[in-house]
Amino acid sequence: MKVLKKNGYNICFTLIVIALAVMPLLLMNGFVKSTTVLFLGKCIAFAIVAIGLDLIWGYTGILSLGHGLYFCLGAYGMGMYLKLVQTNGNITDFMQVGGLKKLPLIWRPFLSLPGTFIMIIVVPLAVSGLIGYFIFKNRVKGVYFSIISQALTWAAYSIFIALSPYTNGNVGISQIQSILGSLRGPRNEGNLITLFYVALVFLIVIYALSYALVHTKFGKLLVAIRDGENRTYFSGYCVSTFKNFIYVVSAIFAAIAGALFVNFNGSITPTQMSITYSITMVIWVAIGGRGTLIGAVIGAFLINLCEYNLSSGEMAESWQYIIGLLFVITILFFKGGIVGIVKDQIPAFIAKKKAKKEA
C-alpha cells in the first residue's frame, strides 16, 4: 500500500502506456480499426501539450490561454516540410495562386528534415522566450497574463490567415502524408504502427523529463512561486527567470506535440491556433487534475475520447456543452480533478464513513 501511495502516479502512467502499446498489436490482429490507432496517436500529441500546460499552470500557477500558438508553430513547421516533400522542393499550388514565383525564404529551412527539427524547437523557443521575458520581467501575472496570452494568440491567428500566399489562409496546409508516408489503408499499417510507437516514446520521454524536473529543487521553487510569488521573490530568487524558463519548456513541448499531431492528422489549419482550442487544452488539465502530470495525461485522453464518441450522432450539437459543464463542476467542486477525487476525496469519504460507524 505504501508503494502504491508513493508511486501511484507513475504506476498509473505505466498502465496507460501499456494499454497504448497494445493497441497496434490489436490492430494487426483485427480487433481494432486503423482509425482508432490514428485517433489515439493524436491523443498522445494532446497529452504532451497537457503535460507542458500542467508544468506552467499546475506547478507554477501561470494560466496560459495561448498555447495553441506554440502547438501550431510546431505543426506548421512539420506540415511545411511534408508539403515540400510532395512538391520536391518546389512552390505549392496555393503559392502559385497567391502570385509567388519562387519558394519564400521562410519556407527554405524546411527543405530538409534536420532543418525542420531545428526550427520546430528554435522558433517556439524564441517566440515564447521573447514574450516571457517582457511579461515576467514586468511582473505581469494572474488574469492579466491570461488575457495577454489570449490576445497574442488571436493576433497570430489573424496573421496566419492574412498571409494566405505563405500559409494558405483558413485552409492551412492539407492533403499531406506523414513523415513515413501514407498511414491509410491496410498496406500502410506498418507506417501507422511505427509512427504510433515513435509518438509513444516521445510521450514517455517528456513525462519522465517533467517528472524528474518537478521532483528537484527547481520543481519545489516552481511550487513556491505558485503558492507565494512575492515571498519567493523576497527570498532572493529571480522569479521572472524561473517563470520564463518553464514557460519556454512548455512551449517547446507544445510545438513537439504539434509536429506529431500533423503527421497523424494529415493537415493543419489556423483553427488549432484559435482561442477556443487553447482553452480546451486548459480544460484537459483541469479535469484530469493539475499539479500532478498524470492528471494532464488522463484529462487529455478522457476529454478527447468523449469528444470522439459524442461529437457524432444525437450528441453532435450538445457535446461541447457537456464538456463545458464538466469543466465548471470540476473547478467549483473538484479542484483536484479526477486525480484529486481518487487520491483525496474518495479516501476521505471512506474514512468519514468508518469514523461514523465506530462512533
Nearest to 293 by CA among 225, 221, 203, 358: 203
Nearest to 293 by CA among 55, 60, 115, 119: 55
Spatial distance between the Cα atoms of 67 and 257, rounded to a whole number of angstroms: 11
259-269 per-position pLDDT tens digit: 999 999 999 99
158-209 per-position pLDDT tens digit: 999 999 999 999 999 999 999 999 998 889 999 999 999 999 999 999 999 9
For the cut 90, the answer to whether the pLDDT of residue 329 exceeds it is no
Residue-level pLDDT at 25: 94
For the cut 70, the answer to whether the pLDDT of residue 60 exceeds it is yes
For the cut 80, the answer to whether the pLDDT of residue 323 exceeds it is no
pLDDT (average), residues 6-12: 83
Residue-level pLDDT at 141: 86
Q: How far apart are the first and last CA of the chain?
A: 26
Residue-level pLDDT at 316: 64
For the cut 80, the answer to whether the pLDDT of residue 4 exceeds it is no
Produce one character per residue of 37-51: b if its CB has 16 or more CB atoms within 10 Å, e if not: bbebbbbbbbbbbbb
pLDDT (average), residues 105-114: 94
Are 170 and 270 within 8 A, CB to CB? yes
For the cut 90, the answer to whether the pLDDT of residue 112 exceeds it is yes
pLDDT (average), residues 146-160: 93
Please give the share of the chain, as a percent, with pLDDT higher than 90. Answer: 71
| Residue with the three cell numbers 501550431 | 72
Spatial distance between the Cα atoms of 320 and 119, rounded to a whole number of angstroms: 34
pLDDT (average), residues 220-248: 93
- 292 or 342, which is more confident: 292
Which triple of cell numbers denotes residue 243?
517563470
Mean pLDDT, the chain, whole residue set: 90
Question: Which domains does the chain carry?
Answer: 35-333 (1.10.3470)
Q: Per-residue confidence at 313, pLDDT binned at 50, 70, 90?
A: low
For the cut 80, the answer to whether the pLDDT of residue 314 exceeds it is no
Which triple of cell numbers denotes residue 105?
525564404
For the cut 60, the answer to whether the pLDDT of residue 341 exceeds it is yes
115-147 per-position pLDDT tens digit: 999 999 999 999 999 999 999 999 888 889 999
Spatial distance between the Cα atoms of 359 and 11, rounded to a whole number of angstroms: 36
Which triple of cell numbers denotes residue 110?
524546411
- 69 or 349, which is more confident: 69
3-class state of residue 183 by DSSP = coil
pLDDT (average), residues 243-254: 96
Please give the share of the chain, as a percent, with pLDDT higher than 70. Answer: 96
Q: Per-residue confidence at 220, pLDDT binned at 50, 70, 90?
A: very high
Q: Per-residue confidence at 1, pLDDT binned at 50, 70, 90?
A: low
| pTM, two decimal places | 0.94
Residue-level pLDDT at 309: 78
Residue-level pLDDT at 312: 66
For the cut 90, the answer to whether the pLDDT of residue 107 exceeds it is yes
Residue-level pLDDT at 39: 95
